[in-house]
């Protein structure tokens, strides 16, 4: 299904982003380093997006696509 692929892609992008920013996927390391990266921004299409907001949005889209929530179900 297309919806499942969208969820997979968003989740994969979120995981890659977490690893790129924090150099780890360990919860303890990531949660400890969050205050240090609070002002980091991605430049995406000319827009400056806060890194943590971008990662949270991707994780949310991934979870919605994987569970086929309202708005992404077919």
Give mean pLDDT, residues 56-67.
86
Q: Which residue has the tokens 């000319």?
A: 46
> What phi and psi values does residue 54 have, to the nearest 5 degrees?
-60, -45
Q: Which long-range contacts (CB under 8 A, 24 or more apart) does 35-44 make?
A: none
Residue 5 pLDDT greater than 90, yes or no: no
Residue 73 pLDDT greater than 60, yes or no: no
Q: What is the pLDDT confidence band of residue 33, given thresholds at 50, 70 and 90?
A: very high
CA angle 53, 42, 12 (to 5 degrees): 65
Residue 42 pLDDT greater than 70, yes or no: yes
Residue 58 pLDDT greater than 80, yes or no: yes
CA-to-CA distance for 69 and 42, rounded, in angstroms?
27
**Per DSSP, what are the bridge partners of residue 41?**
50
């Amino acid at each position: 299904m297309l919806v499942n692929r969208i969820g997979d892609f968003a989740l994969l992008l979120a995981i890659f982003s977490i690893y790129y920013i924090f150099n780890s996927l360990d919860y303890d390391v990531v949660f400890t380093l969050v205050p240090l990266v609070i002002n980091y921004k991605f430049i995406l299409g000319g827009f400056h997006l806060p890194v943590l907001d971008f990662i949270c949005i991707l994780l949310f889209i991934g979870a919605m696509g994987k569970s086929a929530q309202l708005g992404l179900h077919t």
